[in-house]
Every structure is written in structure tokens, then in C-alpha cells.
Amino acid sequence: MTTTGNKMHPISSASIESLPNELLLPILEARVVPSLFGVCKRWHHLLASEVMPPLYKQIGKVHVPQGNVKEQALIVDRIYKLEEKLSETAKVNAIFRRIFTLAKSLSALEFKEKTEEKRGLTLANYSSYLLNINRLLLWKMLPGGEEYLSREKIKHLPLEKKGELLRDWIEKNCKNIKVLNLTKAGLTYLPPEIGQLSQLQELYLNQNQLTTLPTEIGQLSQLARLNLNQNQLTALPIEIGQLSQLQSLDLKESQITALPTEIGQLSELTHLYLNQNQLTALPAKIGQLSKLQWLYLNQNQLTSLPAQIGQLSQLQTLDLNQNQLTALPAAIGQLSELTRLYLNQNQLTALPAEIG
């Protein structure tokens, strides 16, 4: 196989066999489609051993930029409901089948032209489809969005072209909405255009498959309620601290391993739900949440609490059930408004005298 510009041309099988791996692999990586696995045993071996495993890892890095390889694989398998025992080649094929099916459902003529190019199993294709599929899923949930996308002149556009229209459409039609419910919208990625909805006061993103939040989330300066429970988030962007009006933040049942110190900038926060995550520690800045009343940390991996927990002067409920705590800081005795403290299923052998 040889390439001219962006096109691929067949060559004789003898020439194929004579190409050294260092020349053949870049060609396969750039133009891999499922049919190439059947060309010859050598190609099948190279694709399965040298092309698909790195691509699977790259997809993992897209979703969990800061995680290790094991964490990335675990999250990708959860998003796409893949069996762990499958080979990386089988997983990549399953991921792209899902992506292509979604793309076609959102843009019926998606594969009518340049089919081979669009069906390539490449990171560039994956990233493009991921962004534009989620743009369309978001768009359909916006007021008037589904109706607009059903217009004759719009519905026949390629998926990528539709996605490029979202920003201008929001600017003209949807910039001032106050409440947006994206529960169970099928999102695996939150498009950056979410930041245009600067008047949002309530945003519901629960029961999706989000693994990250865009930095543009920090532009939602009027947001009072943010619900993200039952996603696959492993971390929060530092821009979360810019949500100066936020009163309720629900992050339960996700995969969060650490909180950014900027969490302490949420000066209006009264309710924080972090139960059923993977937290092993809390930042000292959590003590700056001076209006916090409810803090749910049950079913995490906490081994200790920062002394600054005692600065939460308005705290009424603190749930620490099912962690790995061996001791509590003496400062917990400073929580004068606390009426409910849950400590079941920890490793505590004694309580501080200050608890009263």
C-alpha cells in the first residue's frame, strides 16, 4: 500500500510483504479500518499488537488525562460497558462501533461520502466524533434545539458541520436560560459551549458518563445548583472555584480521587455531596466553606481529616460512614452547630475528648 496526499492505493502483495515494519506501521495507524485485519496474517498481527493497544490507551488518556493506565482502562470500560477480559483490539472495535452508530443516528447521511476515511479507527476520528456527538446530544436538550436540528437544511449536514453551528445558535437563541436538565442525556463529554450559558442557575448532569468537566464550567457565574451524581468523574477542574454563587454541589457516586484546593472558594456553598467516591484525603481549604451545612463523605477511602474541618461553623450534618478513619482531629469539637455525626464502619478505637 502506498499513499498519495490523503488517498490510499493498493500495491502488490509481494510489495506489501517486503515493506519493513517501520514503514508499514505509520500507514496502518493513519488509515486503519476493520477490513485491513483480513488482508494478511502479518497485517493482522501488526494491527493487533502494535496499533490497537496504543490506540486503546490513547482513548483512555482522552477521558482520564491525569490517571494511570489502569485507571484509564477501567473508566473507558465502564463508559462503553466493555468486559475486562476482551482484548484491546476487540475493545477498540466495540468503541468505534458504538461511536459510528451514534454518529449515524444523529446525522443519517454521515457515512454516505468518504466512508473509508470517516470509518478509520484513529485517535483523530475518535476525538472529532466524541466532541460532535456530545455537541448534538447537548443541543437536542436545549429549548428549541431538537426542532432546529430537524429542519431540512440542517438535518442533512455532516455531523462535524452541525457541531460547528452550535456556538452561534446558542448565542442567538439560548444564552439566557436559567435551568438546564441534562439527566440521562447519554453524555460522555461536556462540550465547551456549556460556558456560553452564563445565566444558568441550575444545571443537572446526573446519570451520564462524564469523565471530565471543561474549564468553561467556571464561566457559569450565576450557578446555584450543580448536580453531577452518577458519572465517571475522577477529578474536578480548578475553575470549579469560580462558581461564586454555588449553593449545592452533588458529586456522589462517581470516581473522584481528590478535590482541588479551589473548592474552598465556594463561599456560598451550603450542601456538598461527595459520598461514594474514591477520596483518600480532603484539602485543608475545605475549612473555608463557612456556610456549609451538610457534608456527605460516606463510602470513600478517607484515612484522616484535616484540622480545618473544625472551621465549618455552620455544619449541621457530617456523614463519615464507611471510610478508613483511625482517629478524628480534636478540632471536630469546634462544630457547635453539628446535630448529626455518622461514623459507622471506620477503624476508630477512640473519640477525641473535645467531641463532648
CB 102 within 8 A of CB 156: no
The string of pLDDT tens digits covering residues 98-120 is 999 999 999 887 877 666 667 77
CATH topology of domain 176-355: 3.80.10
How far is the C-alpha of 10 from the C-alpha of 5, rounded, in Å? 14
235 three-class SS: coil
CA–CA dist 206, 106 (Å, integer): 22
Residues in the chain: 356
Domain boundaries, the chain: 2-124, 176-355
Q: Residue 340: beta bridge partners?
A: 317
Q: What pLDDT score was predicted for residue 8?
A: 44
Percentage of residues in the chain having pLDDT higher than 90: 75
For the entire predicted model, the pTM comes to 0.87
More reliable by pLDDT, 36 or 160 = 160
Asked if pLDDT for residue 66 goes beyond 90, the answer is: no
- Work out the average pLDDT over 296-309: 98
∠ CA 228-231-236 to the nearest 5 degrees?
A: 65
Q: Is the pLDDT of residue 25 over 80?
A: no
Instruction: Compute CA distances 162 → 106, 193, 210, whole Å.
Output: 10, 13, 22
Residue 354's pLDDT is 85
pLDDT digit string (tens) for 208-230? 999 999 999 999 999 999 999 99
